[in-house]
């Protein structure tokens, strides 16, 4: 997908706001009503499909597992080490943060960033119940509220595709990683430019 949808700037700004609202609504719905039907697989079924270890899913709080809405498994290549600082971009209900926290151990820490403050509080509660040090910040991925060179590893799962400004998001990740820092992200890409009807449909964009 390209960085910015092919719209004039004056058309894009209000649409971006509508899409942000739809993204907030949809993922809050997954968190609050995980038994519902969505465009995407979610919960334990999705996590198992992507190769999450059963031990992780058995050990994590059921609410974190049920609300999982990722598109893959960033832990397969994250190579996390004890003591590292991890950013989970778009931390949602916290399952990926918890798994990362178990890997970096008590000398490491996990920072979540999510658009939705309710999800942040939920992720922190799930992490605390899992023995993981996690602080979640409400924030936009295009303007991440963290200092330069403050993170060893970025993980993210199905989030960056939701942004209208992907180039800005990637620059932010570069800025906040320490020299030698790594990222391991799973996300959705398309081989062809999406049609304007899809770009203009907040529900489709958010899914």
Partner 1 sequence: MFGLLEDAGFKRVRSTIVPGFAFRKESTRDAAEGYGVKAVLLTAQKPTT
Which residues contact partner 1 by CB under 8 A?
1, 3, 37-41, 49-50, 71-74, 76-77, 158, 160, 166-167, 170-171, 173-174, 177-192, 194, 198, 204, 207
Instruction: Determine the Cα–Cα distance for residues 30 and 32; give it in Å rounded to an integer.
Output: 6
DSSP 8-state symbol, 89: E
88: helix, strand or coil: strand
Under 8 Å between Cβ of 66 and 94: no
CB of 25 to partner 1, least distance (A): 17
Q: Which is nearer to partner 1, 133 or 178 (CB)?
A: 178
Q: Which is nearer to partner 1, 33 or 39 (CB)?
A: 39
DSSP 8-state symbol, 140: B
Instruction: Determine the Cα–Cα distance for residues 66 and 98; give it in Å rounded to an integer.
Output: 14
Instruction: Determine the Cα–Cα distance for residues 65 and 83; give it in Å rounded to an integer.
Output: 25
DSSP assignments along 114-136, one per residue? ES-HHHHHHHHHHHHHTT--EEE
Q: Which is nearer to partner 1, 41 or 56 (CB)?
A: 41
Instruction: Determine the Cα–Cα distance for residues 69 and 28; give it in Å rounded to an integer.
Output: 11
CB of 125 to partner 1, least distance (A): 28
Q: Which is nearer to partner 1, 61 or 68 (CB)?
A: 68
Q: Is beta strand 109-114 parallel, antiparallel or unpaired with respect to 134-138? A: parallel
Q: Which is nearer to partner 1, 9 or 191 (CB)?
A: 191
CB of 192 to partner 1, least distance (A): 5
Q: Which is nearer to partner 1, 39 or 54 (CB)?
A: 39
CB of 80 to partner 1, least distance (A): 12
CB of 35 to partner 1, least distance (A): 14
CB of 164 to partner 1, least distance (A): 13
Give the residue from 155, 63, 165 showing the smallest Cα distance to 112.
Answer: 155
């Amino acid at each position: 997908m390209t960085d910015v949808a092919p719209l004039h700037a004056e058309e894009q700004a209000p649409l971006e706001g509508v899409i942000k609202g739809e993204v907030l609504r949809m993922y809050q719905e997954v968190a609050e009503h995980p038994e519902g039907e969505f465009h995407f697989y979610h919960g334990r079924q999705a996590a198992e499909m992507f190769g999450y270890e059963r031990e992780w899913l058995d050990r994590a709080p059921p609410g974190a597992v049920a609300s999982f809405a990722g598109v893959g498994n960033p832990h397969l290549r994250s190579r996390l080490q004890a003591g590292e600082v991890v950013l989970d971009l778009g931390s949602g209900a916290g399952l990926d943060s918890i798994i990362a926290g178990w890997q970096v151990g008590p000398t490491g820490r996990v920072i979540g960033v999510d658009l939705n403050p309710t999800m942040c509080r939920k992720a922190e509660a799930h992490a605390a119940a899992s023995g993981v040090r996690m602080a979640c910040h409400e924030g936009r991925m295009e303007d991440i509220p963290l200092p330069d060179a403050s993170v060893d590893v970025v993980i993210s799962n199905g989030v960056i595709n939701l942004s209208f400004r992907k180039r800005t998001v990637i620059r932010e990740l570069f800025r906040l990683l320490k020299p030698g820092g790594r990222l391991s992200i799973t996300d959705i890409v398309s081989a062809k430019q999406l049609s304007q009807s899809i770009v203009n449909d907040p529900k489709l964009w958010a899914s």
